[in-house]
Chains A and B, each alone.
Chain A
Amino acid sequence: MTDLDTFRAETRAWLDANCPPEMRQPMLTDDDPCWGGRNWRFQSEGQRLWLERMGAKGWTAPTWPSAYGGGGLDHEQAEILREEMERIGARSPLNSFGVWMLGPALLRYGTEEQKQAYLPPIVRGEIRWCQGYSEPGAGSDLASLGTKAEDKGDHWLVNGQKVWTSYADKADWIFCLVRTDTDAPKHLGISFVLFDMTTPGVSTRPIPLISGKSPFCETFFDDVVVPKSHLVGELNRGWDVAKHLLTHERDMIGGRVVNASEPLGVIAARTLDLDADPLLRARLAQFDLDAIAFRALVERAGDTTAAGTAHPASSSVLKYYGAEFNKRKFELIMATGGFEALEWEGERSHDGRTARDWLRTKANSIEGGTDEVQLNIIAKRLLNLPGA
């Protein structure tokens, strides 16, 4: 038995013993995932236990160093953990921008004190983070952001507005891009700071979206005092941190649409006579074929990253392809559902879950950098096209 076989056997046994039965049920609504944080209300005792147990093992962040509370697993072990969780249908114990985005940036750019202070509570799901990037005047052109942090000697004074801040109204802390030099070229006057959302002067307002839900907020900063020690990376070099973090955000958005769910055609065939609708059957078949190929792309991206041979801009390939893939998937789910997928309220439709999820996917090719921005990055950094 190889070391990996042993690890798989031990992991399987641990998961069997520790994953509560209700955490092995598929997630049906937006209320099902656990986001953790100071104000989180656990949906069930099982959800609380699952987060507590996985957090204690560091398996909410499997590849982070154990010195910071992470699982300390290598890529192959993490893959085994993923497979074993998938095997029993285990839910992810924690959805977390801290795990997906901030953590990798802190591991690279944070001081030892910052890593010790911020990473363990992320792993345990104790602090929920949000991302302060976009502004009303700085979307695709993110580096033109204007939220200002003035140097007041022993602290920064932050003033300005962010927008599309996911779950800002529910978050405990924010990682935020601020302008610390208004005279420098736009990329060279930005810094990356962290602060508590309960700091006086911070306020949020949810934005109702076409899905009828409000996962995004406007976030306002009015004379917010931020300690100097909350700067991550060098002063005015926050753009480097931001870019590094964005590659992780893109991997997340691109990669999360891959799961081992049933082929769409199989789901459709339960309610529809596909032989009577050969064009829909053809679209489903092409999609299910593309899903096999996309899973291979995601797997290869992970293996290339683990081998240290990935180009930093390759996350844009995953982000672009994954966003378009997910949008196409939901167009097909709507086509398969027909009239039934159009219901907006009521128990039968889980309050219009299909329609709302479909509308939500339209943001996939906007958030984390639009399709067009990803294509610009691929053209410039992977293909080295001129003037891009």
Chain B
Amino acid sequence: MPLILNDEQAQLADMARAFLAERSPIALLRKLRDERDPDGFSRDLWAGFAEMGLTGILVSEDHGGLGLGAVEAGVVMEAIGTTLANVPFLSTSILGARALALGSAEQQAAWLPRIAAGEVITALAVDEGAKHRPAAIALTATRSGNGFRLDGTKAMVLDGHVADLLIVAATTGLFLVDPKTRGVTVERTLMVDGKNAARITFDAVEIDADAVLGELDAGPGALEAVLDLGRAAVAAELTGVGAEAFGRTVAYLKERRQFGKLIGEFQALQHRAAILHTELEVAKAVTLKALQAIDAGAPDAALIASAAKAKAGQAAQLAVQEGVQMHGGVGMTDAFDIGFFMKRARVAEELFGDGAFHADRVARASGY
């Protein structure tokens, strides 16, 4: 398959970008932040996603979705990265939809149509400490009565404060939990980027036996497949963040004058901009490769997803840091938007494993 978007995917990209540019300018993120909006996102904007069918992009057509794949989801994530739109698309339409597709026919019928309709928000609760360490999950699910008892704490649960359903990773498998269950405590955590996350404590939470999602004690494979999709999706978002920060910076180099010249005439800045361009091209290529590999069920999809997450993170980090530096003093002001991209790139770098995590993962997968 050629490593370029096909016509339908390119049209979807244009549509998503145009929609988000109009409905979710960075001013909206700024307003949600400044007003300390209790939801932290615009339900009106989310309804717009549902109208276009994007909420159900990965949900099968049987369940009322579009039945598209990782490449299409990635295309929307890239547009989200470009505009920094604050929507529960990653938590619900990507991670939620893919995780629930592992479930029983009843579980799928109960949740997937409602995800597609934009009626529910789901949150995947995996991480516990300061870093992404899915191999070190400590939350326990012990058999109790006819069901299970959950004990443990989760952190960095995306959209956890507004979720209607929690998908919780325990040592033995995945569980569906209603956040209103007794013993569940949700603390919204305001993060540096103005986006949404929560810390969630599970203190002797009793759940029914039918809350198990997928198989118990079947190893980390199912969760890892969901996480790999998340990694590639965040990589796609990071390529959008990096490209937009870079585009704004290049535009500034063409308008800002010092020493009687446009600063873009200075070779010191030209070469740094050119290097950044090559890094962003590499990130774009490997990210699309990862999304295609996931759709194809390729055996090396996990490896490429790791490479994509790491490279897109590095390229975006470079783009935002050069972005602030090349903007000079105005780059440091809150009134100017470039700082929002730096904050988002920092958060996205940590999600589902940073560059070091993924380099280590590549080494282990290669056998050293």
A binding-site residues for B, Cβ under 8 Å: 263, 265-266, 268-269, 274, 281-282, 284-286, 288-290, 292-294, 296-297, 299-300, 303-304, 306-307, 309, 314, 317, 320-321, 372, 374-376, 378-379, 382-388
* 22 A-B pairs with C-beta separation under 8 A: A263-B366, A265-B366, A269-B367, A282-B356, A284-B363, A284-B368, A285-B362, A285-B363, A286-B355, A290-B307, A292-B303, A296-B289, A296-B307, A297-B282, A299-B3, A300-B289, A303-B2, A306-B2, A376-B270, A385-B250, A387-B264, A387-B265
Asked if A265 contacts B363 (CB within 8 A), the reply is: yes
CA distance A47 to B336 in the complex (A): 64
Report the minimum CB–CB distance from B274 to chain A (whole Å): 4
Report the minimum CB–CB distance from B359 to chain A (whole Å): 4
CA distance A269 to B367 in the complex (A): 9
Asked if B277 contacts A288 (CB within 8 A), the reply is: no
Residues of A within 8 A of B304 (CB): 292, 296
Residues of A within 8 A of B197 (CB): none
For A289, give its contact among B271, B274, B277, B362 (CB under 8 Å).
B362
CA distance A269 to B16 in the complex (A): 46
Asked, given contacts A285-B359, A379-B271, A383-B277, whether A268 binds B368 with beta carbons under 8 Å apart, the answer is yes
> Which chain B residue has the least Cβ–Cβ distance from A380?
B270
Of A282, A306, A375, chain B has the most CB atoms within 10 Å of the CB of A375
A265-B368, A268-B368, A282-B359 given; 11 more Cβ-contact pairs under 8 Å: A285-B362, A289-B310, A292-B362, A297-B285, A299-B285, A374-B274, A375-B271, A376-B271, A379-B274, A383-B277, A386-B262
Residues of A within 8 A of B278 (CB): 317, 320-321, 378
Proximity bits, B269-294, A CB within 8 Å = 1, else 0: 01101110110011111101100000
Proximity bits, B288-332, A CB within 8 Å = 1, else 0: 110000000000000110111011000000000000000000000
Report the minimum CB–CB distance from B96 to chain A (whole Å): 28
Asked if B261 contacts A266 (CB within 8 A), the reply is: no
Of B2, B265, B306, B310, chain A has the most CB atoms within 10 Å of the CB of B2
Q: Does B4 sit within 8 A of A, measured CB to CB?
A: yes
Asked if B265 contacts A386 (CB within 8 A), the reply is: yes
Report the minimum CB–CB distance from B92 to chain A (whole Å): 29
What band does the interface of chain B fall in when counting residues whose beta carbon is under 8 Å from A?
A: 35 or more
CA distance A306 to B261 in the complex (A): 40
Q: Does B358 sit within 8 A of A, measured CB to CB?
A: yes
CA distance A150 to B277 in the complex (A): 43
Asked if A385 contacts B253 (CB within 8 A), the reply is: yes
Residues of B within 8 A of A299 (CB): 3, 285, 289
Q: Does B61 sit within 8 A of A, measured CB to CB?
A: no
Q: Does B182 sit within 8 A of A, measured CB to CB?
A: no
Asked if A289 contacts B4 (CB within 8 A), the reply is: no
Residues of B within 8 A of A289 (CB): 306-307, 310-311, 358-359, 362
Residues of A within 8 A of B286 (CB): 292-293, 296-297
For A296, give its contact among B264, B285, B355 (CB under 8 Å).
B285
Asked if A383 contacts B250 (CB within 8 A), the reply is: yes
Asked if B264 contacts A385 (CB within 8 A), the reply is: yes
Residues of B within 8 A of A309 (CB): 4
Asked if A385 contacts B273 (CB within 8 A), the reply is: yes
Report the minimum CB–CB distance from A292 to chain B (whole Å): 4
Asked, given contacts A307-B2, A309-B4, A320-B278, whether A266 binds B306 with beta carbons under 8 Å apart, the answer is no
Residues of A within 8 A of B303 (CB): 292
CA distance A210 to B277 in the complex (A): 33
Asked if A307 contacts B4 (CB within 8 A), the reply is: yes
Q: Does B215 sit within 8 A of A, measured CB to CB?
A: no
Asked if B282 contacts A294 (CB within 8 A), the reply is: yes
Residues of B within 8 A of A382 (CB): 274, 277
Report the minimum CB–CB distance from B81 to chain A (whole Å): 18
Residues of A within 8 A of B288 (CB): 296, 300
CA distance A106 to B340 in the complex (A): 51
Asked, given contacts A266-B367, A387-B265, whether A303 binds B3 with beta carbons under 8 Å apart, the answer is yes
Report the minimum CB–CB distance from B323 to chain A (whole Å): 14
> Which chain A residue has the least Cβ–Cβ distance from B1?
A303
Q: Does B224 sit within 8 A of A, measured CB to CB?
A: no
Report the minimum CB–CB distance from B367 to chain A (whole Å): 6
Report the minimum CB–CB distance from B147 to chain A (whole Å): 42
The 7 closest A-B CB pairs, nearest first, are A379-B270, A285-B363, A378-B274, A387-B265, A292-B307, A293-B286, A269-B368
CA distance A300 to B285 in the complex (A): 6
Asked if A317 contacts B281 (CB within 8 A), the reply is: yes
CA distance A307 to B274 in the complex (A): 24
Q: Does B254 sit within 8 A of A, measured CB to CB?
A: yes
Q: Does B360 sit within 8 A of A, measured CB to CB?
A: yes
Report the minimum CB–CB distance from B210 to chain A (whole Å): 41
